[in-house]
Structure 1
């Protein structure tokens, strides 16, 4: 386990996901009112779920399968966010440049989470010296 990382908030992937979530919140305030129950709510939920799933994965580091499962959940939410951003761009709610930037960030998040999954044994915290 990396001793220099003490909490999930220190992970670059978490920081990027959190910043994207805040950006989505700010940008979604400009979505039309008729999208409040659909695109806005789904975008806010998915973007926040990426962060929350990373935090949950960190808390489940004692169990490799649980750790990997939560990281997989975060990846699924990041992929979902790419879709919602593309919908917002296509509908004219986001300009193309902002949309491309967000999609790029979520691709980066997805790839970083994949690297965490591939290297899960480095991050899993042993229970009484035994990996679960």
Structure 2
């Protein structure tokens, strides 16, 4: 799935972006950002492996929530001067948000 592949690319981008965070953030913002990023493709995959449409929607909503966490945590990292502007990261996040939103809408509008 394209959204899943893009979510995997987002994980790699988050790991690269957080690699330069200070060591004292290893168990703080670094860990939070990485966990949220890993959650996105993981929940897409889990939803796809489930048997029903309702379960799929549930896991896709969790993935979307994790994207919102990433977006917020990136803003926090920027306010703390841990992360500068990163157009590639921002574009990757926007791409996954858009594709996941489209996928959610398609699943919601399909017949049960």
Question: For each residue in 1:45-72, what CA deviation from the matched residue of structure 2 results, as whole angstroms up to 9, or x when unmatched?
Answer: 0000001011111101x30100000000
Q: Residues of 1 paired with 2:47 and 2:109: CA distance?
A: 14
Query: Corresponding residue for 1:32?
Result: 22
TM-score, normalised to structure 2's length?
Answer: 0.87
What is the number of residues matched between the two proteins?
Answer: 112
Mean Cα displacement is larger for which, 43-52 or 104-113? 104-113
Query: Corresponding residue for 1:43?
Result: 33
Segments of 4+ in structure 1 off by > 3 A? 121-124
Mean Cα displacement is larger for which, 102-111 or 29-38? 102-111
Larger Rg computed on CA atoms: 1
Deviation of the 1:86 alpha carbon: 1.3
Query: Corresponding residue for 1:94?
Result: 83
Within a 5 Å distance, the mapping from 1:65-104 to structure 2 comes to 65-96=54-85, 98=86, 100-104=87-91
In the alignment, structure 1 segments of 5+ residues that lack a partner are 1-10, 125-130
The CA RMSD over aligned residues, in Å, is: 2.0
Higher normalized helix content (fraction of residues): 2
TM-score, normalised to structure 1's length?
Answer: 0.75
In the alignment, structure 2 segments of 5+ residues that lack a partner are none
